[in-house]
C-alpha cells in the first residue's frame, strides 16, 4: 500500500472491534457509567494497535502515526487520543496508562525478538498492565489491586502471543517466544512458519503456558480484592477464560489453529465463573 501520512490513521484500521477480542471489553457486567470511559480507552488502544500491527506500513510511518497519537493525549493530535485525554481530565485519571501503551506499540516497531521470560514481562508491563490499571482507576479502585491486575494482564498478553505465534511470525516477522528456548531445542524462528508445530516447539509452547499458569495463580484472588462487584464479576470471567485458554494451549497446536473459544464454550465458562464468584460473595 502507499505509505501512510502521519494523520492517516484510519487508512491502517483493521476493522476489528471490541466484540472480536479474546476477552470481554466493557461488557454488560460493568456499571453503565464506566462503560463509556473504558470504550474510549479501547478505541485509543485499537487505533494504536492497528498502526503497529499493519503488515504493509513501514516502521517509520508507524512511528510517525504513533507520535500523532501521543500528541493527542496532551494537545492536538489523533481524535481517539484526544477523546481519551478528555475522559481522563474529567475523571481525574492520569494519561500515563495511555502513554505506556504507546511505548509498547513503539517497541513493536523497533524490536521483533525476545531473549527471555523477563523480557516478555517487561514488554507486558507496557502493553498489558496499563490497560487493567486504567480500568481500575475508572472504577475508583485502590493501587492495592495492581499486583494481581499486573499478573492477570501479563498472562492475557502472553496467551495472545502463544495463540498467534505462527501468524505473528508469518505476517509481522515478530517472535515473542524467547530465541534461546528455540535454539536450545535445535530450532530457529522458521519453525513458527510451518503448517504444524513439531514436538520440540510444542514443548516450548507448553513451558511458556505453564509459566503463564503461574501468573494466573498469582492473580487468583484478584476479583475478591475489587470493591466494585460488577467489575469483579467481569474479572472473574476473564480469569476463567484465561485458565481455559491455557488448557487449550497445552492440548492443541496453535500453528494449526483452534486455540480460541467458541461463543458457546465462552458462554458456559462465563456462567460458571459468575456462579462461583457470587456464591463466594454470599458465603462471605
Position 23 scores a pLDDT of: 58
Note down pLDDT in tens along the chain; length 284 residues.
Answer: 344 344 478 788 776 655 455 555 767 789 999 999 999 999 999 999 999 999 999 999 999 999 999 999 999 999 999 999 999 999 999 999 999 999 999 999 999 999 999 999 999 999 999 999 999 999 999 999 999 999 999 999 999 999 999 999 999 999 999 999 999 999 999 999 999 999 999 999 999 999 999 999 999 999 999 999 999 999 999 999 999 999 999 999 999 987 888 889 999 999 999 999 898 888 87
Position 200 scores a pLDDT of: 98
| 3-state DSSP helix/strand/coil % of the chain, to nearest 5 | 70, 0, 30
Position 261 scores a pLDDT of: 87
Alpha-carbon span 235 to 67, nearest angstrom:
32
Position 24 scores a pLDDT of: 57
Alpha-carbon span 130 to 177, nearest angstrom:
22
Positive or negative: CA dihedral 179, 180, 183, 187: negative
Position 27 scores a pLDDT of: 76
Write out pLDDT tens, residues 16-50: 655 455 555 767 789 999 999 999 999 999 999 99
Positive or negative: CA dihedral 240, 243, 248, 249: positive
Alpha-carbon span 188 to 192, nearest angstrom:
8
Candidates 1.10.10.410, 1.10.600.10, 1.25.40.20, 3.30.70.1230; CATH matching 113-284: 1.10.600.10
Nearest to 67, CA basis, from 97, 93, 95, 99: 99
**Bridge partners, residue 113, by sequence:** 175
Residue labelled with grid coordinates 481525574: 92
Contacts of 274-282 spanning 24+ positions with Cβ under 8 A = 274/233, 274/236, 274/237, 276/236, 277/223, 277/232, 277/233, 277/236, 278/233, 280/224, 281/229
Helix axes 32-53, 129-138, angle to 10 degrees: 160
pTM of the complete model beyond 0.85: yes
Position 49 scores a pLDDT of: 95
Write out pLDDT tens, residues 51-62: 999 999 999 999
Alpha-carbon span 126 to 181, nearest angstrom:
23
Alpha-carbon span 152 to 10, nearest angstrom:
31
Position 157 scores a pLDDT of: 97
Q: Where are the domains of the chain?
A: 1-110, 113-284
Position 272 scores a pLDDT of: 95
Write the CB contacts of 227 (distance below 8 Å, at least 6 apart in sequence): 139, 140, 141
Amino acid at each position: 500500500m502507499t505509505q501512510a501520512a502521519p494523520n492517516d490513521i484510519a487508512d491502517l484500521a483493521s476493522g476489528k472491534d471490541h466484540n472480536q477480542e479474546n476477552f470481554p471489553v466493557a461488557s454488560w457486567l460493568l456499571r453503565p457509567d464506566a462503560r463509556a470511559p473504558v470504550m474510549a480507552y479501547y478505541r485509543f488502544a485499537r487505533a494504536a494497535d492497528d498502526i503497529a500491527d499493519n503488515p504493509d506500513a513501514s516502521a517509520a510511518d508507524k512511528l510517525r502515526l504513533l507520535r500523532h497519537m501521543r500528541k493527542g493525549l496532551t494537545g492536538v493530535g489523533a481524535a481517539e487520543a484526544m477523546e481519551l485525554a478528555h475522559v481522563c481530565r474529567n475523571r481525574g485519571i492520569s494519561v500515563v496508562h495511555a502513554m505506556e501503551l504507546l511505548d509498547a506499540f513503539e517497541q513493536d516497531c523497533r524490536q521483533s525478538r525476545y531473549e527471555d521470560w523477563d523480557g516478555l514481562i517487561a514488554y507486558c508491563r507496557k502493553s498489558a498492565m496499563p490497560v487493567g490499571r486504567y480500568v481500575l482507576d475508572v472504577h475508583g479502585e485502590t493501587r492495592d489491586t495492581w499486583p494481581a491486575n499486573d499478573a492477570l494482564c501479563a498472562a492475557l498478553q502472553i496467551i495472545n502471543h502463544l495463540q498467534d505465534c505462527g501468524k505473528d511470525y508469518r505476517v509481522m516477522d515478530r517472535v515473542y517466544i524467547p530465541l534461546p528456548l528455540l535454539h536450545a531445542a535445535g530450532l530457529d524462528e522458521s519453525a513458527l512458519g510451518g503448517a504444524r508445530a513439531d514436538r520440540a516447539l510444542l514443548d516450548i509452547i507448553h513451558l511458556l503456558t505453564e509459566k503463564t499458569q503461574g501468573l494466573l495463580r498469582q492473580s487468583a484472588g484478584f476479583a475478591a480484592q475489587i470493591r466494585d462487584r460488577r467489575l469483579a464479576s467481569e474479572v472473574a470471567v476473564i480469569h476463567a477464560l484465561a485458565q481455559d485458554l491455557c488448557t487449550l494451549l497445552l492440548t492443541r497446536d496453535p500453528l494449526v489453529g483452534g486455540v480460541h473459544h467458541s461463543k458457546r464454550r465462552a458462554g458456559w465458562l462465563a456462567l460458571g465463573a459468575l456462579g462461583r464468584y457470587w456464591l463466594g460473595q454470599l458465603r462471605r
